[in-house]
Structure 1
Amino acid sequence: MTDFRDVQTKHRFEQGFADDGGELRAVFADYAIQGSTRVILHVEADPALRGSGAAGRFMQALAEHARAENLKLAPRCGYAVAWLKRHPEFDDLAA
């Protein structure tokens, strides 16, 4: 796994995870900026990572990053909406 990062020039959060063969693959979320809120537009995992839990670990890292940076999250992507609903410990991040 690589470190979670905010690629601000692309308005994208990214994190790398090793697939079953050890190859590094990406999970990312595109976002829009509205002040201190990040509107999560789309979350995508490399097909080789699907079903591995990588997207969930990515979302946790994203939520922890948002909390550390005093950001709010406004999910629009169905996956991000569902993940945040399943994790009420991050309710304080809701925009």
Structure 2
Amino acid sequence: MSLSIQHLPELSRFQAVIDGHTCLIDYRLENNVMHVLHTLVPQEVGGRGIAAEMTRFALETASSHHWKVHPVCSYTVTYLKRHPEYTNVA
């Protein structure tokens, strides 16, 4: 699946609209640390790998900006455990 994911730094958010439903990752940036606070994929579009693709996009964005990532969101914690290729940002 290839999503059109937007990074909205003014809202501290990554988002994608799928079939009219807004999927999002909220974060807070402090001292070059992106605290991932919340991942939301509405039930109506769940089960398609949307959260995983959005999380990958967020982690790639953090890496490209040389930010560290502090996962507060349980989904992001689990994703990082399953994807050791992102230890450079964790």
Which band: TM-score by shorter chain? 0.7 to 0.9
Query: In structure 1, what is the equivalent of residue 21 of structure 2?
Result: 25
SS at match of 2:77: helix
Q: Indicate whether 1:77 and 2:44 are aligned.
A: no
Whole-Å separation in 1 of the counterparts to 2:13 and 2:67: 14
Task: Quote the residue 2:7 is aligned against.
Answer: 6
Q: Distance in 2 between matches of 1:11 and 1:56?
A: 18
| Secondary structure at the counterpart of residue 51 of structure 1 | coil
> 1:24 Cα shift?
4.2
The residue number in structure 2 matching 1:20 is: none
Task: State TM-score, norm by structure 1.
Answer: 0.82
Deviation at 1:27, TM superposition (A): 2.1
Cα separation, 1, equivalents of 2:17 and 2:61? 15
Q: Which residue in the other structure is 1:42 paired with?
A: 38
The aligned amino acid for 2:46 is: R
Over the aligned positions, Cα root-mean-square deviation in angstroms equals 1.4
